[in-house]
Amino acid sequence: MHREHHRWYSPRLERDMELLVFGHAGARALVFPSSMGRFFEWEDRGMIGALAESLERGWLQLFCVDSVDRESWYAKHKHPDDRAHYHSRYDAYLRDEVLPLTRLLNDNPFLMTTGASFGAYHALTFALRYPHLVNRAIGMSGVYDIREVIDGYTDQHVYPFNPAEFILGEHDHGRLETMRRMDIILAVGREDRLRGNNEYFSGRLWSKNVWHALRIWDGWAHDWPFWQQMITVYIGGHD
């Protein structure tokens, strides 16, 4: 299987950032690690192995990015405003540095975002902020209201990065129509503590007529063996 490591100094984050690329062709997928996870997490946790056939056959190419959660949403010593500000820099890094690299390496127009647990938050937030760039978003056992991480706080700086809030406040017809054309998949375990958050977020999407698939899996399903099963089902579509 083709594997590449990339590292460069990010002017938006003012630090070195790393990512791993798996596969040589096919639909591009931006992959986010779980909370405070690293760019090699999916490889270490067996997710790459679960997708080996699609990667080797050139159906799929994964771009596994690093997180900055320790400096943003999980930086408990910072005010939520400061955490949101750092996340905004990460958002710009993804949009202006990582996406151009994906297009340089692969001209396939189809782009997905995906992640598990807090990675699902990143995947859905980025996709809904840039629906004209993303064709499919897959969230596995995710949290979609960032206020759960910052003790219920919100303001004008947090709002743009909280999909559970900004989806309700979106009134631009063109943007909403673009969101409605996106393939959105939310998968969560029936007994997962985040099931309620998924159902709540699903309700907010439906309130704006944003079509999506909410899939409730039997069992706990908040662990890597379950996410390996989920991703093989949803990376190429949904049931």
**pLDDT tens-digit series, residues 12-55:** 999 999 999 999 999 999 999 999 999 999 999 999 999 999 99
CATH number of the domain bearing residue 168:
3.40.50.1820
* Domain assignment of residue 166, yes or no: yes
* Domain assignment of residue 124, yes or no: yes
CA dist 125 and 69 (Å) reads: 14
β-pair type (60-65, 15-22) = antiparallel
C-alpha distances in Å from residue 32, one per residue of 4, 49, 77, 156, 170? 17, 16, 24, 25, 25
Q: Which domain holds residue 154?
A: 3-234
* Domain assignment of residue 92, yes or no: yes
pLDDT range class, residue 236, cuts 50, 70, 90: low
pLDDT range class, residue 185, cuts 50, 70, 90: very high
* Domain assignment of residue 44, yes or no: yes
* Domain assignment of residue 185, yes or no: yes
Mean of the per-residue pLDDT values for the chain? 96
Q: Work out how many domains the chain is built from and give that number.
A: 1
* Domain assignment of residue 239, yes or no: no
CA dist 207 and 87 (Å) reads: 27
* Domain assignment of residue 54, yes or no: yes
* Domain assignment of residue 156, yes or no: yes
Q: Give 90-109 pLDDT, tens digit per residue.
A: 999 999 999 999 999 999 99
CA dist 126 and 91 (Å) reads: 7
Instruction: Say how many residues make up the chain.
Output: 239
